[in-house]
Amino acid sequence: MEERSTPMTTVPIAAIGDPAKRTNLRAWEWVKESKLMAVGWLAMRVWLGIMWIQAGWAKLFGAENPYFLHNNGAGVAGFAAHGTPAYTWWGSFLHSFVVPNAGSIGILVAVAEFAIGVALVAGLFTRIAALSSLALLFTYVMSGTASVCAWYALFAIVILVMWRTSSWIGIDGLIANYRERHHHERGLHTPIRQFLGHVADGTPTVSKTV
């Protein structure tokens, strides 16, 4: 009688179980799906969006306009050249790439901040806007600016994790609801259309009895 060797990969699985079979806490599931909590996520999303709109507006049309859209991005170049980067390799990136391209990067930052803000307030492309928020905040923190980045990052993470309900009240929610209704109606109409097609073609229909 042959002895079957137990694969080594099954040993830890047998000891700690399969993570795919673990379930979340009911409270966590409720938080993710609750329409009541969606109002709170909406408030966080809109607040973060307004903050980004204000930051982008100042760079596009306000007091910071000369330092980002003009003068070859003097604000970006000055910050990159004299900032306090978190790591030396990031400092090298700022000096070798950001400073020579400060003009283009200044325009990109201004437009990105404003666009992210509008998207968050409108609830459009919510997950992309939240990820873009985190990407921008990452570059700011790495470049030596903490300020309110921690709050912005916290709100962006919550919006991203709770994307089903954080985008429920917004354009994303409207689009998702329309697609769901359209798919449901198309699924209901498909058997009727098939029956009418058979009648029109003269094909006999076969009824199945259970």
Indicate the domain borders of the chain.
35-169
**Length in residues, the chain:** 210
Angle, CA 57 vertex, CA 56 and CA 59 arms, to 5°: 65
3-state secondary structure of 69: coil
Amino acid at residue number 178: Y
**Of the candidates 107, 103, 104, 125, the residue with the CA atom closest to the CA atom of residue 116:** 125
Range list of β-strands (E), the chain: none
What's the burial of 194, exposed, middle or buried (CB within 10 Å: 0-12/13-18/19+)?
exposed
pLDDT value at residue 209:
45
pLDDT value at residue 208:
46
Residue 119 · residue 156 · CB < 8 Å: no
pLDDT value at residue 196:
45
Q: How many CB atoms lie within 10 A of CB 62?
A: 13
Q: pLDDT tens digits, the chain, 210 residues: what are they?
A: 555 555 555 556 666 777 777 777 787 787 778 888 889 999 999 999 999 999 999 999 999 999 999 888 898 998 888 878 888 999 999 999 999 999 999 999 999 999 999 999 999 999 999 999 999 999 988 988 777 788 899 999 999 999 888 888 899 989 988 888 887 777 655 555 555 455 445 555 444 444
